[in-house]
């Protein structure tokens, strides 16, 4: 079987903006719906969930069938999770809580086969076609096509952002305004706070200088926000998540019916 290029990576390489959403429910139906609705990627959030079971694999497969690139956010400092997520079909990883370049280097090592990294080898998995894949072809494809991303959500990360962006093998950054707000002492998430906006802009400047792609989340109705971040260079726009989109739709429908 021939391995195909990662469509998200191809789109970004063409200089186009990619649009995605986040799957928090771990429902394969939501992942499939997102792909059929036209999203380029789905970010499957396994950081704020305990889904180290077959449910992750089911969500990934649903996304792949619907044409959306599955990106999985995993816990930091557990390198085996990178291998496991990639083996069940993830085409990208996001590592949270990044503070310095050495942590990104560790993430790349965990996600890539030698000589790029130190990922353990076995084709006995979904990605390896259950042992039927050509091993050399699979290794080369995995190293070339799977994406590695880092969360920028701590002031320490922004302080070291130039060094972080210089790490070989880093493909994109996801800026987390909510965690950043709390980390700098704000009472809660405040994306519009001047210090948060300053960090978002500095991250974008450093990433653009090194050819690193940029992801950020927006609310579904915030068109002006999307334009603002696109102007800064954010080319991976995440439009809400399944919970927020469904909640808004249900609340709006209920209010309309009551009226």
In order, the DSSP letters of the chain are -PPPP-HHHHHHHTT--EEEEEE-S--HHHHHHHHHTT-SEEEEE-SSS---SHHHHHHHHHHHHTT-EEEEE--TT-HHHHHHHHHTT-SEEEE-S--SHHHHHHHHHHHS-TTT--PPP---STTTGGGTS-HHHHHHHHHHH-EEEEEE-SHHHHHTHHHHHTSTT--EEEE-HHHHHHHTT-SS--TTSHHHHHHHHHHHHHHHHHT-EEEEEE-TT-HHHHHHHHHHT--EEEEEEHHHHHHHHHHHHHHHHH-
Tens digit of each residue's pLDDT (9 = 90 or more) over 81-124: 999 999 999 999 999 999 999 999 999 999 999 999 999 999 99
Tens digit of each residue's pLDDT (9 = 90 or more) over 166-195: 999 999 999 999 999 999 999 999 999 999
The mean pLDDT of 60-72, rounded to a whole number, is: 98
The mean pLDDT of 66-80, rounded to a whole number, is: 93
Whether the pLDDT of residue 78 is over 90: the answer is no
Query: pLDDT grade, residue 221 (50/70/90)?
Result: low
Domain boundaries, the chain: 7-258
Please state the pTM of the whole predicted model.
Answer: 0.94
pLDDT value, residue 96: 97
pLDDT value, residue 222: 67
* CATH fold label, 7-258: TIM Barrel (3.20.20)
Whether the pLDDT of residue 22 is over 70: the answer is yes
pLDDT value, residue 150: 98
């Amino acid at each position: 079987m021939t391995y195909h290029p990662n469509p998200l990576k191809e789109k970004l390489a063409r200089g186009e903006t990619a649009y995605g959403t986040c799957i928090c429910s771990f429902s394969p139906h939501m992942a499939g719906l997102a792909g059929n609705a036209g999203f380029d990627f789905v970010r499957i959030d396994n950081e704020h969930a305990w889904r180290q079971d077959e449910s992750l694999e089911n969500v990934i497969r649903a996304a792949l069938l619907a044409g959306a690139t599955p990106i999985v956010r995993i816990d930091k400092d557990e390198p085996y999770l990178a291998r496991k997520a990639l083996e069940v079909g993830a085409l990208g990883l996001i590592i949270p809580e990044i503070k310095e370049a050495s942590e990104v280097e560790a993430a790349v090592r965990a996600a890539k086969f030698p000589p790029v990294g130190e990922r353990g080898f076995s084709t006995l998995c979904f990605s390896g076609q259950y042992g039927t894949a050509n091993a050399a072809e699979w290794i080369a494809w995995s190293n070339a096509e799977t994406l590695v991303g880092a969360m920028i959500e701590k002031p320490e990360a922004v302080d070291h952002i130039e060094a972080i962006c210089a790490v070989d093998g880093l493909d994109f950054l996801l800026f987390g305004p909510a965690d950043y707000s709390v980390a700098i002492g704000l009472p809660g998430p405040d994306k519009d706070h001047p210090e948060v906006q300053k960090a978002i802009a500095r991250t974008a400047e450093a990433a653009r200088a090194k050819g690193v792609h940029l992801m950020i989340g927006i609310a579904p109705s915030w068109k002006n926000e999307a334009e603002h971040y696109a102007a800064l260079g954010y080319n991976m726009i995440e439009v809400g998540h399944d919970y927020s989109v469904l909640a808004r739709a249900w609340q709006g429908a209920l209010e309309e019916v009551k009226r």
